[in-house]
Chains A and B, each alone.
Chain A
Amino acid sequence: MVLLLQYTLTFASVLILVALGGCFSEHSGVINLGLEGVMIMGALGGALAMRYMPSGSSHFAMLMVVLLAAALMGLIYSSLLAVACINFKADQTIVGTALNMLGLAGATVIVKAINTAANPDDVSSTIQYAGAKKAFLVNIGSFEFSWFMLVTLILLIVSYVLLYKTRFGLRLMACGEHPQAANSVGISVYKMRWAGVLISGVLGGLGGIVFITAGVSEWRFEYGVAGFGFLSLAVMIFGQWKPTRIALAALLFGMFRALSNVYAGFEFLKAMNIPSPVYNMMPYIISLVVLAFTSKKSRAPKAEGIPYDKGQR
């Protein structure tokens, strides 16, 4: 039971971070379908930081450097989306999809190159970080508390305040609802949209590093992040683009994902003898069902997905 709680909170942290990322981007008017790729890149940045940090470094320094590396990678990578979709008015669906594929292929190529350079016989795309990972964990009884959970909670609160209580947040949301009107009162739509996409990159990158350190101590980058970027978008839609609701939705989805890791620990679930792939499918099935019921009265930002053209004002 403790294990279920632990995994639920871990996966919920991932979903909250990435869904908040999607939320910022969409509130500014850009659909970030490339979150999956952003997560992979953030995970890569964090994993490389863990690999290259000297093993004697303090836990706090390790945590900070890893978080920073993941956030920075996500930020840089998402600027590819921003420049294409905001300045060049490219189709956001194509560019997002391209970024997902590019993230997967790019991370695999980079990790393989690093591994092969270190040892010519090593052609795997795996990075190991069993030692470095200890920096993030504190054991409270049998519950393995991860500092990432706290980071997520802080970022959740910050996001809420930023979106609803600051001038920046309200302006950002205006650009997603009616960019022409926002521009007419002197808000730079391009700048706001860039800000939205870059914030989504930071949060997506952080989500990536939390995802690959959940329960395992090595990651094969060929696997990508198993559709978590898209699950997060489903969480965001289910959460109606509102941070608090996103958090609740993420807990629900996180629990279903956690079940596939820990179902063997429950007597009654084991007795039902459901094959393990069914548990793997659960989060995706649930999200489809949930989306089917919640999308009809969706409160999506009105101008999302439409490139802003000054000439149309």
Chain B
Amino acid sequence: MKKNLLKNNGVQSLLASLACVVLGLLIGYIVLLFINPHGAGEAIAAVMKNFLNYSKSATQAKYLGNTLVKTAPLLLCALSILFSYKVGLFNIGAAGQYCAGVALSLYAALAWGWGWLPCMLLAMLGGMVLGAISGLLKSYCNVNEVISGIMLNWIVLYLTNMLLTTVKEDTSPYTFVLAHKNPSAVLPTLGLGSLFNGNQYVGLALPLSILAAVLVWVVLEKTRFGYELRATGNNKNAAKYCGMAEKRNIILTLVISGALAGMGAAMLYLTGYEQWQCSTSSVPGMGFNGIAAAFLGGLNPFGTILASFFIQHITAGGAYVDKTMYCAQISDLISSIIIYLCGFVLFMKYAMNAAISRREEKAALKEKERSETPPADANTEKGGDQ
């Protein structure tokens, strides 16, 4: 029998994600129409075009580079969410773990003059510690990881502001410029910047984050450790029954998740692309956008690479809407609608499978009717059943 392409899980995920994107953009467009019907079409085009809003190809390359610079941390945050979700944990604390990464990597670079590698490792360590706290609370005290994650997010935000205030410029709320204060902490560019019209921020972060995606895939799908983790996620009690250390697995998962999110922070702030504003009053959105990227990517590390780029693409594109009519948050709105729609993915797959099996059943019935030549036989058999 011919294998139906639509039955393939990967294809279904792809179709469902595309449906989410299209619907998300459509709803975003309708919202724009409500705000001001005159510029809605242009605005949604501006969001989708992002760096293509510039006409010169050199400028385009430069701004594509900027989008990629922020895609790397987003990808790592998304991987952090993905990794824990595969183990049945929802690591909303990624935002705080990311924040801790910012605090530690910038402080080590600016106050102690460390090089980029130790700064990055310290950022990962910060994320790991936070993840471990959530994990310990979850496995030993039965505290929901979502609630402990949110609480830690706010605590870490205030701590970050306190810590980084000691290394900020006197006249502004921003931390020192990394390249002036400590050039050794800037991530090496590996010559990648020249591909993007001399964009000095593009560099090691990009290959490192893609490597992380590959590693996450290998660990989850190809190792015994990953198998145990996924088994714990599917059924904690069954895993325990099979002799897997389910408490240890929960903690380890959140520690690894935390490391990924913390590394994401280092990948952005150690390029010098952004400085931390010490009066920040809300937890950075990178960790939350990571949720969007992870689910849009169908919870597959490779899909997540594409989804991270797309989410960052429209987030950056929000800056190009006509500010006299709309605001840049329209892209946040679209990505949150996309996450909401991702909640329906399971249902979409179910509907697809149901439609396929119905069609197959019909085809099989027809086949049967054709092969069963004496119809009288079939009738008696049916009667016997009843």
Q: Which of A84, A284, A296 contacts B141 (CB 8 A)?
A: A296
In the complex, the answer to whether A109 meets B162 with C-beta atoms within 8 Å is: no
Given contact pairs A33-B146, A88-B347, A116 touches B324 in the complex (Cβ within 8 A): yes
Chain B minimum-CB-distance residue to A121: B324
B-contact 0/1 string along A252-286, CB 8 Å cutoff? 00000000000000000000000101101100110
Known contacts A281-B155, A291-B147, A295-B142, A84 near B324 by CB under 8 Å: no
A88 to B326, CA, bound (A): 33
Interface string of A36-62 (1 = CB under 8 A from B): 000000000000000000000000000
- Evaluate whether A97 and B291 lie within 8 angstroms (CB atoms) in the complex, with A90-B344, A291-B147 already known: yes
Residue contact A98 to B325, C-beta cutoff 8 Å? no
Q: Is B277 an interface residue (CB 8 A)?
A: no
Is the CB–CB distance between A91 and B155 below 8 Å?
no
Q: Are A106 and B327 in contact (CB under 8 A)?
A: no
User: Majority SS of interface residues in chain A?
Assistant: helix
A281 to B153, CA, bound (A): 10
Q: Is the interface of B mostly helix, strand, loop or mixed?
A: helix
A91 vs B335: C-alpha distance in the bound complex, in angstroms?
18
A97 B92 Cβ-Cβ under 8 A = yes
B114 interface residue (CB < 8 Å to A): no
Q: Is B161 an interface residue (CB 8 A)?
A: yes
B146-179 toward A: CB 8 Å interface, digit per residue (1/0)? 1110111111001101100000000000000000
Residues of A within 8 A of B162 (CB): 275, 277
List of A residues within 8 angstroms of B295 by Cβ: 94
Residues in A neighbouring B106, C-beta threshold 8 A? none
> Is B337's CB under 8 angstroms from A102's CB?
yes
A90 touches B343 (CB 8 A): yes
B346 x A284 contact (CB < 8 A): no
Q: Are B343 and A280 within 8 A (Cβ)?
A: no
B336 close to A102 (CB less than 8 A): yes
Check A84/B344 contact, CB under 8 A, given A98-B339, A227-B150: yes
Q: Which B residues touch A98, using CB under 8 A?
A: 336-337, 339-340, 342-343
Shortest CB distance B103–A (Å): 13
Enumerate chain A residues within 8 angstroms of B92, measured Cβ to Cβ. Answer: 97
Closest residue of chain A to B332 (Cβ to Cβ) is A105
Given A105-B333, A112-B327, A281-B158: A224 in contact with B282 (beta carbons within 8 A): yes
| Residue B378 at the chain A interface, CB threshold 8 Å | no
A173 close to B (CB within 8 Å): no
Establish whether residues B143 and A292, one from each chain, have CB atoms under 8 Å apart when the complex forms.
Answer: yes
- Tell whether, in the assembled complex, residue A84 and residue B333 are in contact, meaning their CB atoms are under 8 Å apart: no
A101→B343 contact, CB < 8 A? no
B52 in the interface (beta carbon within 8 A): no
The complex places the Cα of A93 from the Cα of B81 at a distance, in Å, of: 12
CB distance from A89 to the nearest CB of B (A): 7
Closest residue on chain A to residue B162 by CB atoms = A277
A116 to B335, CA, bound (A): 23
Does any Cβ of B come within 8 Å of A146's Cβ?
A: no
A101 touches B346 (CB 8 A): no
B137 interfacial by beta-carbon distance below 8 Å: yes
Q: Indicate whether B35 reaches chain A with its CB closer than 8 angstroms.
A: yes
Do B346 and A91 touch across chains, with their CB atoms under 8 A apart?
yes
Tell yes or no: A123 within 8 A of B by CB.
yes
Q: Is the CB of A223 within 8 A of B282?
A: yes
Q: Which B residues are CB-close (under 8 A) to A123? A: 323, 327
Given A89-B347, A98-B340, residue A284 in contact with residue B327 (CB < 8 A)? no
Contact A234 B147 (CB under 8 A): yes
Q: Which 9 A-B pairs have the closest CB atoms?
A: A90-B343, A101-B336, A98-B340, A105-B332, A98-B339, A102-B336, A105-B333, A277-B158, A112-B327
Contacts A99-B340, A230-B151, A291-B137 known; 7 new A-B pairs at CB < 8 A? A93-B90, A97-B339, A102-B340, A105-B329, A106-B333, A116-B327, A288-B152
Where the two chains meet, the residues of A that have a C-beta atom closer than 8 Å to any C-beta of B are 33, 80, 84-85, 88-91, 93-95, 97-99, 101-102, 104-106, 108-109, 112-113, 116-117, 120, 123, 125, 222-224, 226-227, 230-231, 233-234, 237, 275, 277-278, 280-281, 284-285, 287-288, 291-293, 295-296, 298
